[in-house]
Homo-oligomer: A and B are copies of this chain.
Amino acid sequence: MVLDLPTPCVIVDGDVLDRNLRTMATAAAGRGIALRPHAKTHKCVEIARRQVELGAAGLTVATVSEAEVFAAAGLDDLFIAYPIWPTPQRAARLRELASRVRLRIGVDSAESAEALATAVPGLEVLVEVDSGHHRSGVTPAQAGALAATAENAGLTVRGVFTFPGHAYGPGRQRQAAQDESAALAEADGPGVRSGGSTPTVALSGADVLTEIRPGVYVFGDAQQLELGTCGWDEVALTVLSTVVSRSGNRFVLDAGSKVLGADRQAWATGFGRLAEHPDARIVALSEHHATVALPDGVPLPHLGDVLRVVPNHVCTTVNLADELIVTAAGAEVDRWRVAARNANT
């Protein structure tokens, strides 16, 4: 590293990122499944354009305001994978978007389908199916009836989608991918059958799915490392941080929850990992302190040493940053604005 940057800051290895983008694009193409990456992970126009250049069918986003950011940058095929409730304000924004780009959104109730049809006549939707994550979506058995209601109300139903979020746990990926395929097959919609998430995407049923929507694969993170769904050589984003305090077998880095995010699943081994010390664990995290424990006998780093933290959940890390500092061979080569940061509405 020849970087001399104020810490903490978020850096991206551009070579690793590009390799991750190409690997996923090639894999999807090879399996004959459309790739519609979830842009909530990176929130950067530069990465979105590269994904499309490599063959992505379009982008997935989580909110209307994320769609607005990417539409303004010329990305013209957007799926908002979210059960949006159309207030008058939001409906006006959806109409505006639908007039400029190919827009699809999620729907998971008859009531919201009817409200959407009134607010945005003819809007293209995908019916959300719950494949086991139990967050939103109807049961597969209910999907056909909801699709019919939506069509009758005046929406254009393009298919079904699911998020197998229950894959986020050790050893759960294969079952979650099977659940995903089974749910989409049972929903039996015409057209799109969209699924996928970074932990399941390699296991997705290519006989059922027509589209996958992974997000985290672009950067990797400590959750994926600990699930075994990415390798250390696939981690593209880290947080550069400085050792500010040390005692015993512990030391403190200046990267806290205000730069890393506080995400910690019950099965995670800590609040993040260290690129330079794979065996270390962040055992406590406060707003500006990451307390790191090293195995017995491993010498502590020095005060002032700069280390790279791999955050647990990279999507929330990116959402805290104003820009990503892009590196190549350890030197800064570019800065990308996190254009859709805080685009929550």
Alpha-carbon distance A59/B189, docked complex (angstroms): 60
- Decide: B261 and A257 in contact? CB cutoff 8 A: yes
A residues 241-276 near B (Cβ < 8 Å) are 242-246, 252, 254, 256-259, 261-264
- Decide: A284 and B40 in contact? CB cutoff 8 A: no
Cβ of A42 under 8 Å from chain B: no
Stretch at the interface among A27-35, A148-156, A172-180, A312-320: A312-320
Cβ of A112 under 8 Å from chain B: yes
Alpha-carbon distance A303/B344, docked complex (angstroms): 18
- Decide: B4 and A286 in contact? CB cutoff 8 A: no
- On chain B, the residues within 8 Å of A259 by CB distance are 344
Say how far A331's CB is from chain B's closest CB, in angstroms. 17
- The residue in chain B whose Cβ has the minimal distance to the Cβ of A111 is B303
Cβ of A49 under 8 Å from chain B: no
- Decide: B242 and A286 in contact? CB cutoff 8 A: no
- Decide: A136 and B244 in contact? CB cutoff 8 A: yes
- On chain B, the residues within 8 Å of A205 by CB distance are none
Number of interface residues of A (CB under 8 A): 58
- The residue in chain B whose Cβ has the minimal distance to the Cβ of A248 is B134
- Decide: A287 and B262 in contact? CB cutoff 8 A: no
- Decide: B257 and A83 in contact? CB cutoff 8 A: no
- On chain B, the residues within 8 Å of A313 by CB distance are 262
Tell me how many chains of this kind the complex includes: 2
- On chain B, the residues within 8 Å of A263 by CB distance are 257, 262
Cβ of A20 under 8 Å from chain B: no
Cβ of A109 under 8 Å from chain B: yes
Alpha-carbon distance A261/B261, docked complex (angstroms): 7
Cβ of A229 under 8 Å from chain B: no
- On chain B, the residues within 8 Å of A321 by CB distance are 342
- The residue in chain B whose Cβ has the minimal distance to the Cβ of A38 is B287
Cβ of A165 under 8 Å from chain B: yes
- On chain B, the residues within 8 Å of A109 by CB distance are 245-246, 303
What are 30 A-to-B residue pairs whose CB atoms are below 8 Å?
A4-B89, A6-B89, A6-B90, A7-B345, A8-B344, A9-B345, A40-B287, A62-B287, A84-B244, A108-B245, A109-B246, A109-B303, A111-B303, A112-B244, A115-B303, A115-B304, A135-B284, A135-B289, A136-B244, A257-B261, A257-B316, A258-B315, A258-B344, A261-B262, A262-B263, A264-B264, A288-B344, A319-B320, A320-B320, A321-B342
